[in-house]
Amino acid sequence: MIMRTRNSQQGSAMIEFCLVGVPVLVLMLATMQLCLSMWQYHTLAYSVHEATRFVSVHGRGCVTGVTSCAITVSDIATRLKNDSIGMDPNAMSVTLTTNSGAVTTCSPLASCIGNPTRWPPSSNLDNTTGKRVIVSATHTSNRTLMLLGAYTIGPVFNLPATSTGTIAF
């Protein structure tokens, strides 16, 4: 009688694992992907915020006189790249907007490294104290599962970040 009970339960552990283990594994992978996406978003938001702060302290007052601490588009792009640790600069698009509406676009970010154009520009007095500057960035990301060796599933999605600052001096 005992032997029959054991034989009728043979393989039940495997079925129970399939019913419980597979959904738990999928839930773990989804949680890891969510954590990776949130890390990317916060890193992007931090780097955009720091780039805006960098621009806001390099206005017209910084350039006049004997000191010349003017910055270029390349300086801003390099700052963004250095602050976005672990993110691909070729998957990031950046837009720099002045108070008068002049727009400089770096798509991808790596294309602006080496750009000697001064920013914020002195045209329309966009580099004077009190003028607004906007730094926006979008990072294109895909759902990559690191455990499966860069296996991409699902659609590509964009993570946006924007920061507005005022020229301080």
Give the closest residue to 82 by CA, choosing from 103, 110, 111: 110
Return the pLDDT at 143.
62
Sheet holding 103-106, edge to edge: 103-106, 92-97, 132-145, 151-166
95-121 mean pLDDT: 94
Count of domains forming the chain:
1
* Of 11-15, 136-140, 147-151, highest mean pLDDT: 136-140
Q: Is the pLDDT of residue 157 over 90?
A: no
Structure tokens at 128: 């004077």
Structure tokens at 84: 């976005």
Residue 122, domain extent: 2-166
Return the pLDDT at 161.
97
The 10s digit of each residue's pLDDT in 17-76 is 888 988 898 889 888 888 888 999 999 999 999 999 999 998 877 766 666 788 999 999
Longest dimension (CA), the chain: 100
